[in-house]
Amino acid sequence: EDQVTQSPEALRLQEGESSSLNCSYTVSGLRGLFWYRQDPGKGPEFLFTLYSAGEEKEKERLKATLTKKESFLHITAPKPEDSATYLCAVQAVRGSARQLTFGSGTQLTVLP
């Protein structure tokens, strides 16, 4: 069974205080690891897809990295507008279908 565990559950940072969010996973036949941002009452917004260990992707203040067992979302010099829940998900093939399994998310609050 595919499993995704995110830590910490909640994180409070001061503006400009860099930190990392963790996503550890167990999956048979990884077909991509996804990071999403979700604001309250809205659907998840796609950030990154990573496919192989060692891969890195960046977008503004966010950088995602991938190893064989976990992924990190690094946030450099965050701003209050970065406050959101960040979701990690792994894509695997079950039968003939690609499916996502999600972690429970990290709720990030950036204080001004």
- Footprint on this chain of another protein (rule: CB under 8 A): 4, 9, 31-32, 34, 36, 41-46, 49, 87, 89, 91, 95-105
Largest CA distance in the chain: 48
Cβ-based nearer residue to another protein, 57 or 63: 57
Query: At closest approach, how far in Å is the CB of 16 from another protein?
Result: 29
Neighbours of 52 (CB within 10 A): 10
Query: At closest approach, how far in Å is the CB of 28 from another protein?
Result: 16
- Please state, in angstroms and as integers, the Cα–Cα distance from residue 61 to each residue in 23, 29, 31, following that order: 18, 30, 26
List the end-to-end C-alpha distance of the chain, in Å, as a whole number.
41
Cβ-based nearer residue to another protein, 10 or 77: 10
Query: At closest approach, how far in Å is the CB of 39 from another protein?
Result: 10
